[in-house]
Every structure is written in C-alpha cells, then in structure tokens.
C-alpha cells in the first residue's frame, strides 16, 4: 500500500524567505504526483501536477521537483508572502490499477509578516 | 463557469438520521470521488466512481452509500450506521486514468 509522508506537519517562515516543502512516498510505481493548497475550511486547490516522466514543473513562484526512483518530491515557493499561509498536500496516483490518489497529511505553513 | 459544486456548505444531523451530501460537476469528468477529512488525519477515500452506474468502496465505506446515475452527479448519503459522522467531506473529479483531480469546496457535517 502506498504511504505518503509530509514532514514537518507545521512550519513558520518570515516573509520573503523561500519555502521548501517535502513529500516522500514508498512505492515508486506512480503515474503522477500532484500538489494541492488548502485554506482553512475550504476545498483543495490544485497547484502543480508532475507526470512520472517529468523532473519538475513550474508555475509562477512555485516549482515542484520529482525524483521518482528515490520516492521524493519537493515544492519550492519563492519569496514567500503572508498569502501563502495555508496547508499544502501532496498526492500520488498509482501507475497500475484504479485511479485512487494517496494523500499525505499536509504541511501547515504560516508566513510571518 | 466550470467546476465542482458541493452543497450544502454546512449540515447538521440528528442522531439516527440519514443525510445526503450533494456533489455536481460540469467538467465532463468520468471519475468522481468522496473523501473524508478529520483534524490531524489525511484525506481518506470513502467511495469512488470511474463511470456512470458503477462505483467502488474506498477505505472507509462503512456507514456510507452513493449512487452514480448521471455523469454530473455523485451524491453521498451518510446513514445512521455511521457512528462518527462529524467531519469535513470533500468531493473530487477527474478525467480518470491518473489525470489531474479537482475538488469542491467541501461540506462540514456536524452531529447534534
């Protein structure tokens, strides 16, 4: 069974610093990996999706990398802003079988002005 | 304006009642999912459907039921058999085949 881990569960950074969030998974047979943002009491917003054949994906200040063989992905947020405060979740899609995503528990981020 | 709509946003249930959470999508997605989110836990899959008139149990299906009569709709019923239903419920959809998943804004269910 795929296990997805995100450590630490919570972190705080001063405004302007770069954010680095890590996601690890136990089974490298993945189809893709997706990063989401969740604000309190809200649904999940898709940030980036990386196909298993890709090494990284970028959108604005966000960059996500994928090292499938070692079971790791990193989300970088450049020049963090207070508006980046949220919970960030990663999820992996299996290569075989059904389309069930396996989620990590998330990194709760606070950007301090 | 394409997306996934969950209703209601807040729902209160009395002990012994069944309640139904609505999920509608206009993205023309084949696959739809229901997740439950509790504080300190990750998202847990309740049910999913990859095509109309077909659905499968997820990891925590006991006490829940679903139907998929239309491509656009995937309602979730929380039955009286679910002993601890207070949680945040999220509906998602995708084209299937590992494609990008999109989520609704969630329904917070509270037992009173």
The pLDDT assigned to A103 comes to 94
Q: Using alpha carbons only, what angle is made at residue A77 by residues A41 and A30, rounded to the nearest 5 degrees?
A: 80
Put simply, whether B6 touches A (Cβ < 8 Å) is: yes
% of residues, chain A, pLDDT over 70: 98
User: Does B94 contact A99 at a Cβ distance shorter than 8 Å?
Assistant: yes
Task: Give the three-class secondary structure for A84.
Answer: helix
Q: What is the dihedral of CA A8, A51, A34, B89, to 10 degrees?
A: -140
Residues in chain A with CB shorter than 8 Å from the CB of B101 are 34, 46, 91, 101
Residues (pLDDT < 70) of chain B are 1-2
The per-residue pLDDT of chain A, averaged, comes to 94
Question: Has residue A106 got a pLDDT over 90?
Answer: yes
Query: Do the beta carbons of residue B77 and residue B89 sit within 8 Å?
Result: no
* Chain-centre distance for alpha carbon A42: 17
Question: Has residue A97 got a pLDDT over 80?
Answer: no
Contacts of A1 by beta carbon, 8 Å cutoff, 6+ apart? none
A4, A94, A101: residue with CB nearest B101: A101
Q: Report strand pairing: A107-112 vs A10-14.
A: parallel
d(CA B23, CA B104): 8
Residues in chain A with CB shorter than 8 Å from the CB of B104 are 43
Residues on chain A bordering chain B, Cβ-to-Cβ distance under 8 angstroms: 4, 31-32, 34, 36, 41-46, 49, 89, 91, 93-95, 98-101, 103-106
pLDDT digits (tens, 9 = 90+) for A41-73: 999 999 999 999 999 999 999 999 999 999 999
pLDDT digits (tens, 9 = 90+) for A18-48: 999 999 999 999 999 999 999 999 999 999 9
What is the mean predicted confidence (pLDDT) over A93-99? 78
Residues in chain B with CB shorter than 8 Å from the CB of A43 are 4, 6, 90, 103-106
Query: Do the beta carbons of residue B88 and residue B8 sit within 8 Å?
Result: no
Query: Do the beta carbons of residue B53 and residue B69 sit within 8 Å?
Result: yes
Other CB atoms within a 10 A radius of the CB of residue B111 amount to 18
The pLDDT assigned to B1 comes to 61
d(CA A37, CA A70): 24
Residues in chain A with CB shorter than 8 Å from the CB of B102 are 46
The pLDDT assigned to A100 comes to 85
């Amino acid at each position: 069974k795929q296990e997805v881990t995100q450590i630490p569960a919570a972190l705080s950074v001063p405004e302007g610093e770069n954010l680095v969030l890590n996601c690890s998974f136990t089974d490298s047979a993945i189809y893709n990996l997706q990063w989401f943002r969740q604000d309190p009491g809200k649904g999940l917003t898709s940030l980036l999706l990386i196909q298993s054949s890709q090494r990284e994906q970028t959108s604005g200040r966000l960059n996500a990398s994928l090292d499938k063989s070692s079971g790791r992905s990193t989300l970088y947020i450049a020049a963090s802003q207070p508006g980046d405060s949220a919970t960030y979740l990663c999820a992996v899609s299996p290569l075989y079988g059904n389309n069930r995503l396996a989620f990590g528990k998330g990194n709760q981020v606070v950007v301090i002005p | 304006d394409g997306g996934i709509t969950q209703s209601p946003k807040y729902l209160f249930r009395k002990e012994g009642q069944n309640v139904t959470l609505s999920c509608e999508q206009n993205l023309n997605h084949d696959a739809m999912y229901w997740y439950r989110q509790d504080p300190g836990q990750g998202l847990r899959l309740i049910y999913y459907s990859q095509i109309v008139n077909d659905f499968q149990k997820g990891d925590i299906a006991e006490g829940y039921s679903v139907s998929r009569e239309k491509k656009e709709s995937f309602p979730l019923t929380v039955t009286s058999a679910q002993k601890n239903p207070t949680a945040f419920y999220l509906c998602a959809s995708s084209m299937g085949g590992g494609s990008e998943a999109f989520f609704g804004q969630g329904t917070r269910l509270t037992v009173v």
